[in-house]
Structure 1
């Protein structure tokens, strides 16, 4: 059996497709999301599905312990959990800001806090954080979302520098628009409609499988090679 892969946000979109692919490739998987029934319905071999809030350190710790007790130490952590709540910065609620900060930033810190120390001790392991092009440049109506994704880039790169001499890889994947349910989180219907029209103008977004291909590419490189950052978007997406 291959080594354990831990995936957050595994009940939809990129996380779900990643879980399917790595299971097909023979890896045991730990799937973490709030929607356990969806993850279980995938019927993946050698897989544990846990309902947990990625911002709750103890819930996540218990899930990882359960999987590692059964399948061994985590070799690959993929942080896919995220929310995108687009809005006019002067009108958007503080609660929506807080939710993006909590999930998009704290969601990668909980898993990293639990898994990284052991990777450092073992001198092996890979962490892949799914960010966004919005973590590299700003967009209208994306204010706090961009801030949260810029933070993912900064945190990931800082950690990478600290653990590189321990043979641990930290990788950021920054997709452009992807065909997932991420936009459904947005509550402003006008912004949502405009986003959909713009997406049509570029031939719609990437498929989740395109992102999984990038994850596989980065992970399957030799351990002494780190693809530090990978940016992918539809050719017609200018920004």
Structure 2
């Protein structure tokens, strides 16, 4: 039986790359979106069942065009994982406002663009799933995380609101909120004091944070439950994470 199309944003590394590998190994057709397509194409995937497109999630038109191309090849999107995100830590009084805008555009507008692209079709078909990747920083605050936390609190709020609005159409909107994890997010930070503070915190917990594979496995489990079952929100972190 042919499996339905899955779209994953931010698929070049971290959670997105691990999800791509898991779903691909189970023969799901995939649309993988990211700005670094060379990294996506270097993943150990069977690309016979994969379309890779260079898309900035803040660009609604290119997002929609990529999804349309994938749907013409594989059928309608059944799962969208809004995974693309950036984490630029720092204090508000020191941080360049352009970094605030980057986080808000990618972490909030990118999620909205993805939802806008697929949700009408899902409602019409009375089925489909959207999983928004947020953060524990969308539920509690941390030093140096003010704008990042604001963006992730926003993801939780918009996800819960839309979930309420579309549940009657048999469409699921779920949130996956990981704690600190071994991804590339830290490499984007320009404030060295913020990086040092994070690294000291990580060392105080034993130097190990969450392996992205466990986020990917949990997302796959959430999706593969029957359509009438919705795990609304998951918070997942390394056992040693103390906050």
- Fold conserved between structures, TM > 0.5: yes
- In the TM superposition, 1:39-54 aligns within 5 A as 39-42=40-43, 43-45=45-47, 46-54=49-57
Query: How far is 1:201 from its partner?
Result: 2.2
Q: Which segments of 5 or more consecutive residues in structure 2 lack a partner in the other structure?
A: none
Matching of residue 66 in structure 1 with residue 69 in structure 2:
yes
Give the conservation status (yes or no) of the 8 Å contact 2:4–2:75: yes
Q: Which residue of 1 aligns with 2:87?
A: 84
1:128 is aligned to 2:122: no
Separation in 2, partners of 1:44, 1:90: 47
Correspondence 1:212-227 to 2 at 5 A: 212-227=216-231
Q: Is the 8 A contact 2:126 2:171 kept in 1?
A: yes
Equivalence for 1:208: 212
Q: Does 1:97 align with 2:104?
A: no
Instruction: Within 5 Å, give how 1:1-239 maps onto structure 2.
Output: 1-42=2-43, 43-45=45-47, 46-203=49-206, 204-239=208-243
Secondary structure in structure 1 of the residue aligned to 2:57 = coil
Contact 2:135 2:176 in 1 (8 A): yes
- Between the aligned partners of 2:46 and 2:66, the Cα distance in structure 1 is 17
Partner secondary structure for residue 30 of structure 1: strand
Asked if the contact 1:61/1:114 (under 8 Å) is kept, the reply is yes
Shift of 1:112: 0.7
Which whole-Å CA distance do the structure 1 matches of 2:51 and 2:232 have between them? Answer: 29
- Cα shift at 1:194: 1.9
- 1:200: how far off? 2.4
Between the aligned partners of 2:204 and 2:215, the Cα distance in structure 1 is 21
Give the TM-score normalised by structure 1.
0.98
CA distance in 1, matches of 2:16, 2:121: 23
**2-structure distance, mates of 1:41, 1:182:** 19
Q: After the TM superposition, list the runs of 4 or more consecutive aligned residues in structure 1 that deviate by more than 3 angstroms.
A: none
Per the normalisation by structure 2, the TM-score is 0.96
* Cα distance in 2 between the residues matched to 1:200 and 1:64: 41
| 1:89-112 Cα shifts (integer Å, max 9, x gaps) | 111010000000000001111111
Cα offsets for 1:176-227 (capped at 9, x unmatched): 1010010111111121022112112223110110101110121111110100
C-alpha distance in structure 2 between counterparts of 1:124 and 1:171, whole Å: 14
